Structure 1
Amino acid sequence: MTIRRYTLPPLLLLCFTVVTRVVCSPDGAPTRACATMTPFHGGGIPPQPGLSPYSVVARRRGGKVHVSVGSALGVPIAGIMMQARTPAGEVLGAFEAVDPDHAHTINCVQRSDTVTHNSPEEKDHIDVDWTPPRGYEGPVVFNATIAQAYDTFWVGQSSPVLQYTSNGQDDLLPDRPFRPPSLQPTTYTPFFNRVQQQTAFTEFDSFYNGCGSTKLCFGFPEGCVQSKGCTAAVAVTVIGDRYDYELKVDRSDAIWVAVALSEDTKMGDDSVMSCVKTNRGVDAYMEWTYPGYRVERIRNAQHQIELLNSSVINGQIYCRIRRNAVTVVNGKTFDQLRDTYNLLVAAGTDLKPNSVGYHTIGKAASAEKRSLADVSAVSGASKILVRLHGSFMLAAWIGTASIGILLARYYRQTWVGTTMMGKDLWFAWHRVLMVLTWLLTMAAFVLIFVELKAWSAERNPHAILGTITTILCFFQPIGAYFRPHPGTSKRPIFNWAHWFAGNAAHIVGIVAIFFAVKLSKAELPDFFDYIMVAYVVVHAITHLLLSLLNCISDKSSESRVSSFPMKDIGLGRNSGYLDRSLDAPFSPLRRLILGVYIVLVGALLLALIIITALAPIEDTWTNLRTSMKSNN
């Protein structure tokens, strides 16, 4: 065998070996470069026209193809973008980085079909594994763009054509058999025409390819499949008696994503397929749900399913699972060929010892049972009861209770001589507002139990605080109905008890609303807290101003103000000003403060109810804008 020596001109060799340290794309190639594989460096620096010092070597190993990129001259690599293609230019297969510190995958046409660098730090070589599409046999070429520096890169570096067969033998080539530059093939054809090459692909996600035409897709938040922006989603592809489930969750903190086949929109007696992030990648399991949000992994959890493909990209989980058409789980038969099911999609951030944890990221159920072969659009189950629960509680404790408590505490000596239904005006409105508070609270409490049909399983004190608020609220009007007459010995006891229970219910109710922001089912944005804080500030300032006015009234009239219950709570309604026929001092100012308070709190309450009713409002707004753009 004759070994030929290849020599390079000294100047060319110097260009190859002397590396200029200039920053390339710091996080790898963007998806807008998918079509041309040409970086947009410096506003359009052209690629190098001459020989490349690099080579791309592909060899079969254990059913996969191991691809190495490097230089026989020892020239380091700053950046890379590589795809596997047929000779006709079709992108196919999926990559997996051998060393995650050097490279990661991105999605151009299909998931993980392109590999790029992690950072512009110099690398001696980059190794990746490539898996062909299921059942594929035929030629494959690995095309790469390789950067030596920011302004020095080669586009279209290609490996020799590899004939892939499922039963082929492993190649016996040594590790990284890089070749001299003069032997490098450079054939490369962009897979889009010139107009399409100018299109950005930053919003492209191949997961949604075929949704509504070849596969059934469902996820959350509502409408996310149409906008291609699901937090978590499932896609079901049916080919004959094969049922393939794709699952994804686009949250870097996600630990698991799952889909359940259910007879209704609630958890309980459902068959679950979960994809769980592990140290070695992603594992798939069969699990079972019980009423009350309890989930357990079944025995032989991987027996009736097959994990076809999976990846963890930037912490986001993707997997493809094949499930037998007919399975028996916990003694229950699931016949996907003949029966219809609701789909339940969920994702979370923690695990239990033998199952997935609570769906802290979110959960959605399809509105109706359907055949999994039906690829038409799927709508989510109604969340109206949850939205009404939240809206009623907000109206009760931010709105009616706040104003009612204010009236009872500071306005007993205002509007003197004016009555409604035979009662002093402040008392009549106090009673109306507190009755509304009672009705709204009781209705909200019933609605949430109708929705959940169980106690909340979230590790959040909201449910406990809400129950305490409801109990205190429930007994308030009963106690008021049996209150002793003014002047009797037990009247002071009632006054203190009524005051304490009412204020305790109000405070606990407000705290419960703050905790509701973190509930996955509520789907409230973080800025909800800021509006709540604004309410607390308005409420506190109003109390402070009215208390100061009472103190000034005390000093100026040298008498006590009956509207200040911390002083006169045990003395009944006949205490206070010597002349009960006149309004207390500063009554016009107090009425002005009340008017401003009602306007401000009303505006904040309206904003809170709108956010709750339209939750998740950020996704609702995004989907609306996407729909408007598509209509235009």
Structure 2
Amino acid sequence: MRLVLSIAVVLGVLIGPSITLPNGAPESVCDTMLPFHGGGIPPLTTASPFRITPVTSVIASGQMLQVEIESFPASVVFKGFMIQARNRFPPNQVLGQFELTDEGAIKLINCGGEGNTATHTNTAHKKDLALEWIAPADFKGEIVFNATIAQDYDKFWVGIESTPVKIVESGQSPPAVVGISTTRRAPTTTTVPPYVAPTTPVADTTDPIYEGCGSTKGCFGFPEGCVETRNCRAVAAVIVQGERYIFEMKSGYKNPAYIAVGLSNDAKMGDDSVIECVPEQGVVNAYTSWTSAGPYSASRQGIAQNFIQLREKSYVDGVIHCKVERDPVTTVKGQRFDLIREKYHLLLATGSKADSTHVSYHDIGRTASGVPQVLAEVGAVQGASKLLLRLHGAFMLTAWIGTASLGILLARYFRQTWVGSQLCGKDQWFAWHRFLMICTWALTMAGFVIIFVEIGGWSQVDNPHAILGVVTTVLCFLQPIGAYFRPHPGTKRRPLFNWLHWLGGNLAHIIGIVAIFFAVKLQKAELPEWLDFILVAFVAFHVFMHLIFSILSWIQIGGCVSERRSQRVTSFPMADMTPSRNSMSSGERKQDAAFSGFRKVMLFFYILIILGFVIALVVITALAPIEDTVESIRKQIMN
């Protein structure tokens, strides 16, 4: 029961709430139009069976237009939808206003303006739905209708676009069409960031930013090796023309709010001169800023803006691109930056938040060059080694998924198995338990030291992983010390030690597993979100095996088999860690407890499955980001 409750705590923390939208899309998704189904089910990228069809391609401002959601083939139905009209070109405004024509199937929400977005009211089957939309009275230009349509809970498409509709001045006479009526009211126009589907970037072999990388300019990006495959989530290039130093940057992954390049003396965030490219109202602006040693952010306050010039810029479909020229010699915050003579580490970062004074933490991604270099020296820019980071992950996974899980299982259920067989002068169960827990202790201590060396201090990331990791490490560190000074069996303090040792070990194991779940959310780890499913499968398997062994113990304690007294020793973890031979009769020591053969078979099965989990998790961690690594390998094989 204690084990079940413990695992329930783990699962309660780890499995986030699922949010369904049976009553229509909420205003919180006005900008992305992305449903939050099942904690983050991704949209389909296949061709959609639905079409958004305006009945005409030209209307006058202030007039009404009929828009239809159609299915191809006609037998296909859908359950939910969200639709907006947006300016065809940046700043991608949400325009106009919908009419509430069918209160039973349609409702209007306010995405910064009254009734400018239509959505469903229930999940009943729908097809060939018609809506009425009023063009704004103060707008001339082209719009497209942008929709999200859900055929089912886990089957939906985001970013379905209609053909363009041209809105002309009210005094002009557009062609006579069906679905146009006179003006009823003048809707408002509001600015909303453009929708960008959150998909993994695909290789762009024609992107000019990659041309000349390694020959005429130095390029670097992330994930590792992306410059060679032309598939970077964010990429930067340094172009040197005489004494002109130009920094080119580009990113469109996860709809970034900024992309920035920094000059650093140590490859760590803090006390670095930064150039930012930030889209503001659809237009990219360039700024200089300074990173502080505290929380990761770059502030423009007190930083001169006159030593950079924005040469080129664009912001199309959520992709930021800019070229910024920087003076070769500058002084920022009392520190001299001489690009001609000095060597610098290059930092590249992109994130989802920025305001008028600073950019926030690089939650989308960040990389740094491995060694300082003179920027005028053209060549490949090698990223900083991630070996220590990968080793930390591999050590902790091996310790808390592998050795700790197996060591705890042996101590709990195998005290009266392999009776008469010893290893190094100790009972088999104790010898292996001690060996596995020493491995757990050594791997945990090594992983703890490694990550502090890698980060160079305490983590500034807003994630509980660091705190949970420290708690796990402290509990793990104390366990062997307590075991060394354990009271002798039979003394009055021995039961207290038994409880504390059991509690400390189980708490360390549970908190360690929870910490691993939170590690999946760390941007620096670059782990796929689906890794959570592997971890949940491990927890479920671990619980299942404990239940099997516990049921066997309950049967023995209940008197369903003989030799009840000897079975009690194997059934409860509070027994002495090194039972005295005098504490039980010689007859009880001559043979294994009942069900020992079955327990051995189940243990073998448990070891195989746990080994599989450990290998899979370590490989995914070592090759992170695994999707990009696999894609890179596939392309190399194809070429």
TM-score by length of 1: 0.68
Give the letter for the 1:587 counterpart: S
Q: Given that residues 215 and 237 in structure 1 are in contact (C-alpha distance below 8 angstroms), is that contact kept between their aligned partners in structure 2? A: yes
Q: Secondary structure at the match of 1:563?
A: helix
Equivalent-residue separation in structure 2 for 1:215 and 1:519 (angstroms): 32
1:209 to 2:211 alignment: yes
In structure 1, the partner of 2:590 is 581
Amino acid at match of 2:163: P
Given candidates 471, 479, 483, the residue that maps to 2:474 is 471
Answer yes or no: is the 8 Å Cα contact 1:492–1:570 preserved in 2: no
The count of residues paired between Structure 1 and Structure 2 equals 460
Counterpart of 2:308? 305
Q: Paired residue for 2:412?
A: 409
Tell me: CA distance 1:282–1:202, structure 2 relative to 1, closer, same or farther (3 Å). Answer: closer
CA drift at 1:510:
0.3
2:369 is the alignment partner of 1:360: no
- Deviation of the 1:292 alpha carbon: 4.4
Distance 2:556 2:284 in 1: 71
Residue matched to 1:534: 537
Residue from 603, 609, 612 that aligns with 2:618: 609
Show structure 2 runs of 5+ residues with no match. Answer: 1-56, 68-87, 94-141, 145-159, 170-201
* Equivalence for 1:562: 569
User: After the TM superposition, which residues 393-432 of structure 1 pair with which residues of structure 2 at under 5 Å, given as runs?
Assistant: 393-432=396-435
Residue 122 (structure 1) aligned to one of 162, 165, 170: 165
Give the distance between the partners of 1:573 and 1:365, measured in 2 at CA: 58
Contact 2:370 2:384 in 1 (8 A): yes
Q: Which amino acid aligns with 1:291?
A: A
- Of 471-480 and 276-285, more deviation after overlay is shown by 276-285
Task: Point out the structure with max Rg over C-alpha.
Answer: 1
**Alignment match, 2:389:** 386
Q: State the SS of the aligned residue for 1:432.
A: helix
List gaps (5 residues or longer) in structure 1: 1-53, 55-68, 79-95, 105-116, 127-199
SS in 1 for 2:276: strand
The one-character-per-residue Cα deviations of 1:322-374 (angstroms, maximum 9, x if unpaired) are 11111111111111122221111111122477322111111111111222222
Aligned to 2:629: 620
Contact persistence 2:59–2:165 (CA under 8 A): no
Letter in 2 for 1:210: G
Partner of 1:256: 258
Secondary structure class of the residue paired with 2:321? strand
- How do residues 268-417 of structure 1 correspond to structure 2 at under 5 angstroms? 268-294=270-296, 295-351=298-354, 354-417=357-420
CA distance in 1 between partners of 2:204 and 2:232 (Å): 15
Per-residue CA shift, 1:458-477, capped at 9, x if unaligned?
Answer: 11000000000000000000
- Overall identity of the aligned pairs, in %: 50
Structure 1 residues 29-44: aligned runs within 5 Å:
none
- What does residue 126 of structure 2 align with? none
Asked whether the 8 Å contact 2:464–2:515 carries over to 1, the reply is yes
Secondary structure of the 1:403 match is helix
C-alpha distance after superposition, 1:149-205 (max 9, x if no partner): xxxxxxxxxxxxxxxxxxxxxxxxxxxxxxxxxxxxxxxxxxxxxxxxxxx996532
Counterpart CA distance in 2 for 1:98 and 1:462 is: 39
- Map 1:54-133; keep pairs closer than 5 Å: 97=89, 100=92, 102=142, 119-124=162-167
Cα shift readout 1:210-238 (whole Å, capped 9, x = no counterpart): 22232211111111111111111111111
Q: Distance in 1 between matches of 2:389 and 2:284?
A: 33
Deviation at 1:297, TM superposition (A): 2.3
Contact 2:411 2:573 in 1 (8 A): no
Q: Equivalents in 2 of 1:389, 1:610: separation in Å?
A: 13
Q: 2:489 matched to 1:486?
A: yes
Q: Tell me how far apart the structure 1 counterparts of residues 525 and 486 of structure 2 sit (CA, whole Å).
A: 38
Residue 492 of structure 1 deviates from its aligned partner by 0.1
Partner of 2:237: 235
Deviation string for 1:523-554 (max 9, x for gaps)?
Answer: 11112112111211111111010001111222
Q: CA deviation at 1:253?
A: 3.1
- The one-letter code of the counterpart of 2:625 is P
Say whether the 8 Å CA contact 1:293–1:457 is kept in structure 2.
yes
CA distance in 2, matches of 1:371, 1:279: 36
Distance 1:232 1:507 in 2: 37
Conserved 8 A contact 2:349-2:367: yes
Q: Does structure 2 retain, via aligned residues, the 8 Å contact 1:217–1:375? A: no
Partner letter of residue 311 of structure 2? L
Letter in 2 for 1:624: I
Assess, with a 3 A threshold, how the Cα gap between structure 1 residues 98 and 469 changes in structure 2: closer, same or farther. closer
2: CA distance, partners of 1:596 / 1:465: 30
Q: Matched residues in 1 for 2:636 and 2:588: separation? A: 66
Contact 2:203 2:229 survives alignment (8 Å): no
Give CA deviations for 1:13-51 in whole Å, capped at 9, x if unaligned: xxxxxxxxxxxxxxxxxxxxxxxxxxxxxxxxxxxxxxx
Structure 2 distance, partners of 1:551, 1:278, is 66
Letter in 1 for 2:571: F
Deviations 1:480-499 (A, max 9, x none): 00000110000000000000
Pairing 1:498–2:507 present: no
Q: Do the aligned partners of 2:313 and 2:322 also contact (CA within 8 Å) in 1?
A: yes
More deviation in 461-470 or 332-341?
Answer: 332-341
Change (3 A) 1:367 1:103: farther
Q: Which amino acid aligns with 2:267?
A: T
Where in structure 2 are the equivalents of 1:126-141 lying within 5 Å?
A: none
- The corresponding residue for 2:442 is 439
Report the CA distance between 1:261 and its aligned residue: 0.9
Structure 2 letter corresponding to 1:601:
I
**Equivalent in the alignment of 2:40:** none
1:284-328 Cα shifts (integer Å, max 9, x gaps): 221122334544324244221122232222222222211111111
- Partner of residue 595, structure 1: 604
Change beyond 3 A, Cα 1:465–1:412: same
Contact 2:265 2:372 in 1 (8 A): yes
Contact 1:553 1:586 survives alignment (8 Å): no
Aligned to 1:152: none
CA distance in 2: counterparts of 1:569 and 1:292, whole angstroms:
49
Distance (whole Å) between structure 2 residues aligned to residue 333 and residue 406 of structure 1: 60
Equivalent residues of 1:305, 1:321 under 8 A apart: yes
Instruction: Please give the alpha-carbon distance, in whole angstroms, between the structure 1 residues aligned to 2:203 and 2:389.
Output: 37
- For the residues of structure 1 that align with 2:467 and 2:322, how far apart are their CA atoms? 37
Aligned to 1:376, what secondary structure does the other structure show? coil
SS at match of 2:363: coil
Residues 1:252 and 1:119: Cα distance change in structure 2 (over 3 Å) = farther
Q: Could you state the TM-score of these two structures normalised by the residue count of structure 2?
A: 0.67
Q: Which amino acid aligns with 2:287?
A: Y
Contact residue 413 and residue 584 of structure 1 kept, 8 A: yes
Match of 1:453 in 2: 456
Structure 1 residues 289 and 99: CA distance shift in structure 2, 3 A: closer
Deviation at 1:511, TM superposition (A): 0.3
Match of 2:552 in 1: 549
* 1:626 counterpart SS class: helix
